[in-house]
A = this chain, B = another copy of it.
Amino acid sequence: MEDLSKRVLAGEIRAASRLIRNLEDEIPDTYLAMRDIFTVASHSHVIGITGAPGSGKSTLIDELITAYRYNKKTIGVLAVDPTSPFSGGAILGDRIRMLRHSEDEGVFVRSMATKGSLGGLSKAVGEGIHVMEALDKDRIIVETCGVGQQEVDIINHAHTVVVVLVPGMGDEIQAIKAGLMEIADIFVINKADRDGSAKLYRELLNIVDMSKRNGLNGENGWTIPILQVGSVLHHQEFAKSVELMRDNIDQHYQYLFESHLLAERKRRKAKAELNEALWGKIFEPVLNELKKHGEMDTMIDQLVTREMDPYTLAEKVAQRYMKK
């Protein structure tokens, strides 16, 4: 295992793929390799790109890779798939587009899916980013689908968060997306030649204005840009607007660097990682012990029949496993 980390640090792509797969599969000894990976200094800019399924994120990322390669930047992409049987298939199809960079040694694309808990996925993605940092990638793009707590957790790992929207989704979806909007550093209106684009632009302007007044995104700092990206059908125009998106992303990093905010975001990421590690070393082993001896089931029975209350049960477990 420790050999694996040496091979990753030497830039070996196959070792990195294997390590990411091990993280995803939660192979127990993976942390032995990860200990070395974690302590490597990094200059990578981590970019989270999120939005609803069908907002065209994969196509956008594909073009963004091209734009970054034009500037000689090396790229890592971590695509985080939802495993819902209703949406998994369609998204996989999109991803095939990224194959056009598969012959380019400067681009390393891997997808990660949840096997267990969403919390587990967030941990694995955070570690996957460290692997790409160890490969010394200039930009690391993390693509997430959908909305909800999962995204907010994964976004903890990014320096810059790009939220992608498409016109014509009605008012309701806007309300749902409130959670995403609070974490946006850059808005991208994709398929901006569709009906409803101007309306969406006005709505986003309101949100940007509101977030400014609420002092989100820094008090005297960053004004969230709202970028409009046209249809893929007009390819030259599409490419131009994605280049603008690339430049805005880079400017945001510059802003983070010059203000105190980059340090703050790095702390946010470190805090999430520490929490996840503590969970794995303190709470998870207790749960596993209780499960192993069927004791968990007995306790659940006692709750169902209302013989016991959860506080008393938890207190007993704490006395057995905790010092003091």
Contact = CB atoms under 8 A, between A and B. Distances in A.
Per DSSP, are chain A's interface residues mostly helix, strand or loop, or mixed? Answer: helix
Interface string A21-52: 00000000001001100111110000000001
A281 B310 CA distance: 10
A254 interface: no
Interface stretch (A64-72, A82-90, A97-105, A218-226): A82-90
B281 A283 contact: no
Among A90, A276, A283, A310, max chain B CB count under 10 A is at A310
Interface in A262-319: 263, 266-267, 270-271, 273-283, 285-287, 296, 299-300, 303-304, 306-315, 317-318
A170 interface: yes
Nearest to A151: B148
Given A54-B171, A282-B317, A317-B278, A146 B300 contact: no
A236 interface: no
A85 B84 CA distance: 29
A273 B40 CA distance: 40
A208 B85 CA distance: 13
Interface residue range, chain A: 35 or more
Given A84-B178, A146-B176, A282-B314, A303 B273 contact: yes
Given A176-B53, A278-B287, A306 B118 contact: no
Interface in A90-149: 90, 118, 146-149
This protein's copies in its complex = 2
A233 interface: no
A321 interface: yes
Given A148-B150, A169-B173, 7 more contacts: A169-B169, A170-B173, A173-B176, A271-B296, A281-B317, A285-B318, A285-B322
25 contacts: A39-B307, A85-B210, A86-B210, A87-B175, A118-B149, A146-B179, A147-B147, A148-B148, A168-B170, A169-B169, A169-B172, A170-B173, A173-B176, A176-B176, A267-B300, A270-B300, A273-B303, A274-B299, A274-B310, A278-B287, A281-B311, A281-B317, A282-B286, A321-B322, A322-B323
